[in-house]
Amino acid sequence: MHLNLVLCFSSLLLSIGCTTTKAARTSFSSTHDRRSLLDNGLGRTPQMGWNSWNHFACNIEEKLIRETADAMVSSGLAAAGYQYVNIDDCWAELNRDSQGNFVPKADTFPSGIKALADYVHNKGLKLGIYSDAGTQTCSLKMPGSLGHEEQDAKTFASWGIDYLKYDNCNDQGISPKERYPIMTKALQKAGRPIFFSLCEWGRDDPATWANEVGNSWRTTGDISDNWDSMTSRADENDKWAAYAKPGGWNDPDMLEVGNGGMTTEEYRSHFSIWALAKAPLLVGCDVRSMSKETHDILSNREVIAVNQDSLGVQGKKVKKNGDLEVWAGPLAHNKVVVILWNRGSSRAQITAYWSDIGLNSTTVVNARDLWAHKTQRSVKGQISATVESHACKMYVFTPR
C-alpha cells in the first residue's frame, strides 16, 4: 500500500474493522486472489451510467432510452464518464418465441433491441439490459434466463449489448452460487465483452465469492429515495470494503440523486459516499429534465475522479462518534480521500485526526475541498469543519 495505514488491533479484523466505544477504525486492503472464472477485462474502475428502474420502473419504451442517450451527451454526463445506458425490467414480452428466444415488447420496443443498441452506440455510449437468474423477472412481466443462459447470452451479444444486470427473483430454490456462474460462462462464450452486474441483494454474502463470477455484485437490498434507506445501504456495503478491487466492485445499489426524496445536501452526501466507496455510479433520475443542482452533483469531476481512481481501493468508515463520522481511503499517488459526514439533526464540528486516516502525525498535506473547489495548504495533524445536518465535507489530501 502507498501509505502507512492504520491497522486494527489484529490482521484477523482486516476485512471487517473493529469498534471502540467512540470510534470504529478500519484498514484498507486491495489484496485478494485474481478472479479465475471471469476475466473479461471490464470494470477496471467502477461502472458509470444510467439505469431506468429507480425513476421509471416498468414505464419504459424505446423513445425514452433514445432520449436518455441524447441527454447524457447534451448534458455533459457522457463526457464526465457516464457511459452505460441500462434498460431494467419489463422490456420483453411475457413469453419467449417458438425457438425459445426473448421477444422485445412490441408496443414499447417495436424497433427491437439491436436498433436501439445501434442508436446508443452511435452516440458513443453503451447499452445495458436486464434479466434474472430465475424463471421470471421480479416484475413477473417477462421470462428470466434460468435454463436459457447460453441462448440468452448469445442473443444479447447479437444485439450489441454491453452490460447485463442479472436479478435474483423466482430462483426455484437453487443457490445463487450455482445459478450465477452459469451465466458467467455463457457470457464468456457469447463472443462479445459484456459487463456482468450481479443483483443478488447481498443474500449469500456475494462479496466473498462473486469476484470470480461478475464485475460487480449487490451487497444490499433495493435502495429507496430517502435518507434512512440511503444511509443504511452505505453501512451495509461498508463491511465488505476489503473485497472490492479493479474488475470487481461492491454495489450498494443505484443513485437516487435527483428523484426528489432527499435534500440537495443529502444527495451530495449520497454521491460523495458512493464515490469514496468505489460504488457503481448509475444515475437513477430522469436526465432529460434534471435540475441544475442535480446536474452539478452528478457532474462534479473531482468527486468522480475519486470513484475512478486507478488504485481501486474502497474507502471505509474509519471513525464514528455518535452521528458524526469520518470516512477515508487511499488513492493513487499517495493521496487520501476524507469525508466528514454529519448524520445528525443539527450542525456540528467534525475533526479527522491523522491517526484516524493512517497518516503519520508529522505529515503535511494540501487539502482539496471537492465541493467548494478550494485548497487549504500546509495542513498538519488534523482537519476540522463545521458541517450542516445530513451534509458532508469531502477532501483529497496530497502530501507535500
**Catalytic residue chosen out of the listed positions 118, 204, 205, 222:** 222
Specify whether the CB–CB gap between 211 and 230 falls below 8 A.
Answer: no
Place of cell 487539502: 367
Specify whether the CB–CB gap between 51 and 86 falls below 8 A.
Answer: yes
| 88 included as an active-site residue | no
- In whole angstroms, what is the distance from residue 297 CA to residue 290 CA? 11
- In whole angstroms, what is the distance from residue 23 CA to residue 20 CA? 5
The grid coordinates listed for 49 are 451510467
**Catalytic residue chosen out of the listed positions 88, 167, 171, 286:** 167
- In whole angstroms, what is the distance from residue 283 CA to residue 304 CA? 13
Question: What 8-state DSSP symbol labels residue 184?
Answer: H
- In whole angstroms, what is the distance from residue 213 CA to residue 177 CA? 9
Burial class of residue 350, CB neighbours in 10 A (0-12, 13-18, 19+): buried
- In whole angstroms, what is the distance from residue 318 CA to residue 325 CA? 8
Query: DSSP string spanning 118-179?
Result: HHHHHTT-EEEEEEESSSB-TTSSSB--TT-HHHHHHHHHHHT--EEEEE--S-TT--HHHH
Q: What are phi and psi of 23, to 5 degrees?
A: -140, 145
Question: What 8-state DSSP symbol labels residue 248?
Answer: B
| 107 included as an active-site residue | no
Beta bridge partners of 336: 330, 397
Positive or negative torsion for Cα 211, 77, 159, 222: positive
Q: Enumerate the active-site residues.
A: 167, 222
